[in-house]
Amino acid sequence: DAYANDPSRHKTLTINNQKPFCAEPPPPILVDSFLTPNELFYIRNHLPVPEIDLKDYTLELTIEGETKKVFDFDALKKYKKYAITAAVMCGGNRRSEMAKVKKLRGLSWNVGAVGNAKWAGVRLCDILRDLGINENAFSHVQFEGYDLDPSGTPYGASIPIAKAMDPRADVILAYEMNGQPLSRDHGFPLRVIVPGVVGARNVKWVNKITVSKEESPSQWQQGDYKGFSPSTTWDNVDFSKSPAIQEMPVISAICSPQDADTVEVKNGKIEVKGYAWSGGGRKIIRVDVTNNQGANWHTANLSEQDFQAKEGRYWSWTLWNVELPVDKNSKETEIWAKAVDSAYNVQPESFANIYNLRGLLCNAYHRIKIGLKQ
């Protein structure tokens, strides 16, 4: 059993898959804190968790056709320590709702395949600059993990070189998560954090970085984590025709109450809480909530945001809450939420027209139905 050495996990997590291990926290707990506690942060592994001894750890840096340099952990830690607060979200977050439109392939994530943490490590741009890379001679920076599939091929992904080398993009090789060394599940001892970009590019247990003219050849870059038309089927899909997902679109979710809950009405109102986030460093500027199919939209209070973030570098999620007035006589209500980002991108209304066969980019309005106790 290749998974026999996997670490133990917090029992509060809802398990979506055992081997490889994939799990998410219950939604109400997710919005209890701005920084997601490490042991409750969702886990998305594609392969067995590698067991890495710090003293054996190496990071190989290759500039295709030119140089190769090997760092041990101490050599990396000599670079200036840099911290950012950023959400990481799986491209399949909220897939279970899209799956109601039509059959699709992928793990059935609820709204919890996202977490927000303070990551600390070294800036990728500092390391690349030291190597004297000519940004114009290359196009991509590829990452490989220590985790291997049965054929010995590692997990891999890549990002555009402009992103990797831009100090304002804040791409880091993180060794700390919320002030603690990374746990084994989250990439010990080192992982890539590409803020504002789909989780899949945030390579854990990073072992190799290659500056290249080409994207990562990995299955997860080439044959997965791409979007398609609702009409694309497994019979006619051509993965080479869609670009790999990088920056994520605007999204929000209601986390408390949850769908099918019964809620006590107090003074004619109920409290609704959730998160919102957008990719590319775009700030959440508004969250709108309705419980009468859009006849009235209530503007949520944005309770927690990274108030120190600079323009274009809002990597954290935003937590929000709103007091919704409900009809005196109703025994149930349907609630919808949608977020707006700083580019005035708004979530699409429904899943029907953004459906894709892999169940990615599931950012339609979040809709829940709850019972009311008056």
Nearer to Mo ion, 171 or 197 (CB): 197
Distance CA 85, CA 70 (A): 28
Determine if 44 is a binding residue for ligand MTE (CB under 6 A): yes
Choose one: 94-102, 195-203, 268-276, 356-364; the region binding ligand MTE (CB under 6 A): 195-203
**Residue 88 near which of Mo ion, ligand MTE, none (CB within 5-8 Å, type-dependent):** ligand MTE
Nearest of 355, 352, 363, 367 to residue 105 by alpha carbon: 355
Which of 99, 173, 203, 300 touches ligand MTE by CB under 6 A? 203
Q: Which is nearer to ligand MTE, 84 or 203 (CB)?
A: 203
DSSP secondary-structure letter at 75? H
Largest CA distance in the chain: 73
Residue nearest to Mo ion (CB): 90
Binding ligand MTE (rule: CB under 6 A), the pick from 27, 30, 40, 41 is 41
227: how many CB neighbours lie within 10 A of its CB? Answer: 17
Residue among 50 and 199 whose Cβ is closer to Mo ion? 199
Q: Select from 123, 186, 358, 366 the one that contacts ligand MTE (CB under 6 A).
A: 186
Helical spans, DSSP H, in 157-241 = 161-165, 219-222
Site membership for ligand MTE, residue 121 (CB under 6 A): no
The C-alpha atoms of residue 129 and residue 340 are separated, in whole angstroms, by: 36
For ligand MTE (CB under 6 A), the number of binding residues is 19
Contact between 189 and ligand MTE by CB under 6 A: the answer reads no
Q: Rank residues 200 and 357 by Cβ distance to ligand MTE and give the closer one.
A: 200
Contact 212, 195 (CB under 8 A): no
Q: Give the strand pairing for 284-290 and 332-341.
A: antiparallel
Q: Which of 13, 31, 52, 200 binds ligand MTE (CB under 6 A)?
A: 200
Does position 147 bind ligand MTE by CB under 6 A?
yes
Q: Does 276 bind ligand MTE (CB under 6 A)?
A: no
Sequence-separated (6 or more) residues with CB below 8 Å from residue 352: 101, 230
Tell me the C-alpha distance between 250 and 118, whole Å.
Answer: 21
Helix (H) or strand (E) holding 270: strand 269-277
Q: How far is CA 294 from the centre of its chain?
A: 29
Smallest distance from ligand MTE to CB 34, Å? 17
Q: Considering CB distances under 5 to 8 angstroms, the limit depending on partner class, which of ligand MTE, Mo ion, none binds residue 121? A: none
User: Using the rule CB under 6 A, is 199 a contact of ligand MTE?
Assistant: yes
- β pairing state of 206-212 and 58-63: parallel
For residue 245, the minimal CB distance to Mo ion (Å) is 10
> Of these partners, Mo ion, ligand MTE, none, which one is at the site of residue 357 (CB under 5 to 8 Å by kind)?
none
Cis peptide before 167 (omega within 30 of 0): no
Q: 54 to each of 68, 120, 131, 181, 313, how far by Cα in Å?
A: 21, 17, 24, 11, 32
Q: Does 23 bind ligand MTE (CB under 6 A)?
A: no
Residue 197, binding choice from Mo ion, ligand MTE, none, Cβ under 5 to 8 Å by partner class: none
Helix (H) or strand (E) run with residue 127 in it? helix 124-130
CB 301 within 8 A of CB 284: no
CB of 335 to Mo ion, least distance (A): 27
CA 250 to chain centre: 12
147 binds, among Mo ion, ligand MTE, none (CB under 5 to 8 A by kind): ligand MTE
DSSP 279: S
| Contacting range for ligand MTE; rule: CB under 6 A; set: 197-205, 211-219, 251-259, 290-298 | 197-205
Closer residue to ligand MTE in complex, CB, 205/314: 205
- The residues that touch ligand MTE, with contacts defined as CB under 6 A, are 41-47, 88, 90, 145, 147, 155, 186, 199-200, 202-205
